[in-house]
A and B are shown apart, each in its own frame.
Chain A
Amino acid sequence: MKILVIAEHNNENVKASTFSTINAASQIDQNIDVLVVGSDCNNVTSELSNTQYIKKILLIDDTKFQNPIAENISKIITSCAEEYTHILAPASTFGKNIMPRVAAILDVAQISDIIKIEGKDTFVRPIYAGNALATVQSQDSKKVITVRPTSFDAVSKEGGNGEIQKLDLDIDISNVEFMGREETKSDRPELGSARVVISGGRGLGSAENFSLLNKIADKLNAAIGASRAAVDAGYISNDSQVGQTGKVVVPDLYIAVGISGAIQHLAGMKESKIIVAINKDEEAPIFNVADYGLCADLFEAIPQLSSELDKLNTIQK
């Protein structure tokens, strides 16, 4: 068996999702190569060559591939697919965009968003927004898989000794023109990998009120999330959305403020280690999944939480 992992990166750094995907791959077999397609991405390859388990880093470094256009990357992957039994990528919007094309070109099924590996051909994946878990066995000779990053810890970024191999491929470039990307910049940890997440819902009432959460997030070094209702109401941008159609998060501590707990939202956070819910409606379904519930007016509770945190001698960051 031999596995190819598709690296997600921004030409500067490897994304955390890639290290989780490498861990998932290592549970199938530890004969792992990684493919990097990008432009001016020396730092990406050096990070990966130090990473645990990596044998080879296949590199295509060209300004043509500065942006991850699915048509181009899927062709690159399929042209080097032959020697691999498994091809894995993170189930991020990067991987979801590319991997079904790879599977279709290879005429195999894709196994989406796996959360557990039961064997070289058997995997567990959530269906119905995580309300059921399906165990599936692949009958295809090649397995094309996307991995839910939050279900696998990152591998060690040290101690590896991967060899970099430049690929020389002649790929027809797609006629997709990349116009631009609006990334939401933040000094806070990334929502998908933060140790603590504080999320707000419609209960916050306005974008201005939503910023009340910033002070708590600063103190806990938390990422800020939101329910779909809060995003739709325009309190915060959509990349903060936690839920079935947003991000799935599994932090050590998840604090839900003014969130009622729609099935949609629960699908994105109910695997968190500790869940705190603050809501004034004692019937809110969020309390059914909370380890600690506080039935209170959030506009009183949030300032109190801030001052209680100030009283602590130390806070884990």
Chain B
Amino acid sequence: MKILVTVKRVIDYNVQIRVKSDQSGVETDNVKMSMNPPDENAVEEALRIKEAGKADEIIILSIGEEKSQETIRTALAMGADRGIYVKASNDTEPLGVAKIIEKIVDKEKPQLILMGKQAIDDDSNQTGQMVSAKLNWTQATFASKIEIDGDNIKVTREIDEGLETIKMPLPIVATCDLRLNEPRYASLPNIMKAKKKPIESLSAEELGIDITPRLKQLKVIEPPKRSKGIMVADVAELVQKLKNEAKVI
């Protein structure tokens, strides 16, 4: 079985982002970039499935500007086998990304697609579900546990009310929650090895896909800042303030 894992290059989750003064977006120049965190969980899960003898090959796909290849390289250093890079604007919307992934799937015929449940830059939480709908496959979103048993897969999903478990035949698209596993660090020998692993380069135009944005971003602003409040001396003062000043208890 082949597993396709998608990875996105995003601003590192530890970076405090800055909104551009012309309101055109968020500053990305000279900002630390990393693999989208739940995509790391997707890579890790694929590696564990392969290590358990249930997959033969792990292909990493990234879509974006040139440097997305570095993110593919990171996944290869974790242990994946080869990469596919599709050149497109970093602002390609989930629908466009889903159409690109659909094309790659037609070519590579994976049985399982693992993706992060959400990218931490645009927070859309759409692409996995869209890929699944485009391919007319089943989906298992927000996965916190994945068990493969022959041609079937059982997934535990994180939902607002608690946990839900579903079972279905492969192929499927699963989107990974941060609780799925603890991603490994790449060892130095594996980083060296990864440099020799192949990455195929394509572009959205070559694939013949129209990825024109459907949404026009009018502006990006900072949310209203919350002003710092006061420090109280003790619990008695706190309760008095909540009762008489804020009037919330």
Which residues of B approach A to under 8 Å, CB–CB? 11, 13, 16-17, 19, 26, 93-95, 98, 120-134, 138-139, 141-142, 144, 154, 157-169, 177-179, 213-223, 226, 228-232, 234-236, 238-239, 241-243, 246, 248-249
Chain B residues near A139: list those with CB within 8 A: 213-216
A104 and B167 contacting across the interface, CB-CB below 8 Å: no
Complex: chain A residue closest to B231, CB-CB: A293
A207 contacts the other chain (CB 8 A)? no
For this complex, 28 residue pairs linking A to B, each with C-beta atoms less than 8 Å apart, are A70-B141, A92-B160, A93-B157, A93-B160, A100-B127, A100-B133, A101-B133, A103-B95, A104-B129, A109-B214, A110-B95, A112-B124, A126-B123, A129-B120, A133-B221, A137-B215, A176-B166, A176-B167, A181-B161, A238-B158, A244-B120, A245-B177, A292-B242, A292-B246, A296-B235, A304-B234, A315-B249, A316-B248
B126 and A110 contacting across the interface, CB-CB below 8 Å: yes
Chain B residues near A94: list those with CB within 8 A: 159-160
A108 contacts the other chain (CB 8 A)? yes
Using known A-B contacts A132-B223, A179-B166, A245-B178, determine if residue A305 contacts B238 with beta carbons closer than 8 Å.
Answer: yes
Using known A-B contacts A103-B130, A175-B138, determine if residue A253 contacts B95 with beta carbons closer than 8 Å.
Answer: no
Using known A-B contacts A192-B160, A291-B246, determine if residue A134 contacts B220 with beta carbons closer than 8 Å.
Answer: yes
Contact for B214 among A70, A108, A135, A196, CB less than 8 A: A108
Q: In the assembly, what is the distance between CA of A294 and CA of B122, in Å?
A: 35
Contact for A100 among B126, B178, B248, CB less than 8 A: B126
A110 and B94 contacting across the interface, CB-CB below 8 Å: yes
B232 and A127 contacting across the interface, CB-CB below 8 Å: no
In the complex, which residues 267-317 of chain A have their Cβ closer than 8 Å to any Cβ of chain B?
Answer: 270, 273-276, 287-296, 301, 304-305, 308-309, 311-312, 315-316
Using known A-B contacts A70-B129, A70-B141, A276-B242, determine if residue A182 contacts B235 with beta carbons closer than 8 Å.
Answer: no
B230 and A292 contacting across the interface, CB-CB below 8 Å: yes
B94 and A109 contacting across the interface, CB-CB below 8 Å: yes
